[in-house]
Structure 1
Amino acid sequence: MDTAAMRARKQDLRAGLRARRAQTYAGEAGAARRSREAQQLLGRAAPLRALVRSAVETGGEAPLVAAYHPTPVEADVMPLARELAGLGARLIFPAAAGRRLEWIAWDGHSPFVDSPGRGFGREPEGEHLGPDALSRALLVLTPAVAVDRSGTRIGHGAGYYDRALAGVGDGTRVVSVIHPDELLEVGALPRGEHDVPIPAVLTADALVRLVTIDVS
């Protein structure tokens, strides 16, 4: 369990990172920058498209890919989500369900609706696959406030993704999608007992494999 000092440090870091993100990506200039970076991010994701394309070509069930609907200042993962759906992946998006995430299928083009969950982005109106859907996923694209190069991720503080990622399958590829300046140096973020290390991040600059150092 996180100590009180670690929780306080995470809260301070989260507040500072969110404020920096809001300053950089709010307003017309910020939205234009985010839009440009979304296209650059799509270009950097070629290995992820190849992963999905290969899985589709093997036949059988459509590969399951988890994504999320970003807030207006988060890195925009939706162009990539649409492209993966177009390649034949089955996309799923999170929704609040008590202390766990519920996963809802998206057909690649239907509109999203406001989530009733506090702090959640928009969600699709497709089939509900339950909280254990990530155990069958080929690829999981997660949000984050920041990730450091030792694989430590800081999220929005409720622990939803740490609980969800604890149940991914052995062959699942997990990638956090963030802005370029939110990939921090080794050890920049504190890691608690229940924080699940992240093996890779995708930004407008690069798809980066991380060395998930044990910091316990």
Structure 2
Amino acid sequence: MTTTVREAKRALRERILARRSEFDATALAAAGQGLRDVVLALPELARAHTVALYVSVGREPGTGPLIEALSDDGVEVLLPVLLPDGDLDWAAYTGPRGLVTAARGLLEPDGDRLGPAAVASASALLVPGLAVDRHGHRLGRGGGSYDRVLARQLAVSPPVFTCVLLHDGEVLDIPIPREPHDVPVDAAATPSGAQRLR
């Protein structure tokens, strides 16, 4: 019996999540600091006035230091708000006190909603993932929220820089199984460096 794309993705997700479960708080904090430094060194971020990002949860590489650094530098940071249909709305980051606990254990901004299309105003889109291959094909958690966001960016001119934030070892040499709705990203950033993809 042939393994379907969805089954292959599910198996890969399980392997990566099992590896991530071994990270302790110290390792996660160090990853967040390293990731901040790597992302801030990207030339696309040096020119950015607005960056769409997300608040990391669980064993994701920590985005807190990056959000704070961008905000301190006067960059407008847009954070996602999960909608009931799985799509993402956006709101501006106003500081740690402006984050509230939401569905699925997420932290979301409590400010005015700007609409799903607001992400088009960003000059850089930094997305979560579990892995990416050398062609920019990203493995997410399977909900499709960021597939919709990435698809919207294809219509923006000039193109928006897209980068997945990962732990070291999650940029894979093997191809990630793809479905028609999957949209590749331009780059990957890990605590030890950034890589251009595609």
Structural mapping, 1:143-154, within 5 Å:
143-154=128-139
Distance 2:80 2:3 in 1: 29
Q: Aligned in 2, Cα 1:53/1:184: closer, same or farther, shift over 3 Å?
A: closer
Kindly provide the amino acid, as one letter, of the partner of residue 199 in structure 1.
D
Gap runs ≥5 in structure 1: 56-62, 212-216
Q: Is the 1:44–1:207 contact (alpha carbons within 8 Å) kept by the matching residues of 2?
A: yes
Aligned identity (percent) is 34
Structural mapping, 1:130-145, within 5 Å:
130-145=115-130
Q: Is the 1:144–1:154 contact (alpha carbons within 8 Å) kept by the matching residues of 2?
A: yes
Q: Aligned in 2, Cα 1:195/1:77: closer, same or farther, shift over 3 Å?
A: same
Q: Aligned in 2, Cα 1:150/1:10: closer, same or farther, shift over 3 Å?
A: same
Q: Is the 1:37–1:204 contact (alpha carbons within 8 Å) kept by the matching residues of 2?
A: yes
Distance 1:190 1:201 in 2: 17
Gap runs ≥5 in structure 2: none
- Indicate which of 35, 39, 51 corresponds to 1:65: 51
Kindly provide the amino acid, as one letter, of the partner of residue 10 in structure 1.
K
Count how many residue pairs are aligned between Structure 1 and Structure 2.
193
- Indicate which of 170, 174, 177 corresponds to 2:162: 174
Structure 1 residues 115-174: Cα deviation after superposition (integer angstroms, max 9, x where no partner): 13x3x5211111211011121111111000111112110101011100111112233111
Aligned to 2:76: 90
Q: Is the 1:91–1:108 contact (alpha carbons within 8 Å) kept by the matching residues of 2?
A: no
TM-score by length of 1: 0.83
Q: Is the 1:38–1:76 contact (alpha carbons within 8 Å) kept by the matching residues of 2?
A: yes
| Backbone CA RMSD of aligned residues | 1.8
**1:128 is the counterpart of 2:128:** no
SS at match of 1:123: strand
Q: CA deviation at 1:54?
A: 3.6
Kindly provide the amino acid, as one letter, of the partner of residue 9 in structure 1.
A
Distance 1:19 1:45 in 2: 26
Distance 2:167 2:45 in 1: 23
Q: Aligned in 2, Cα 1:87/1:51: closer, same or farther, shift over 3 Å?
A: farther
Distance 1:157 1:171 in 2: 25
Aligned to 1:31: 25
Q: Aligned in 2, Cα 1:99/1:111: closer, same or farther, shift over 3 Å?
A: closer
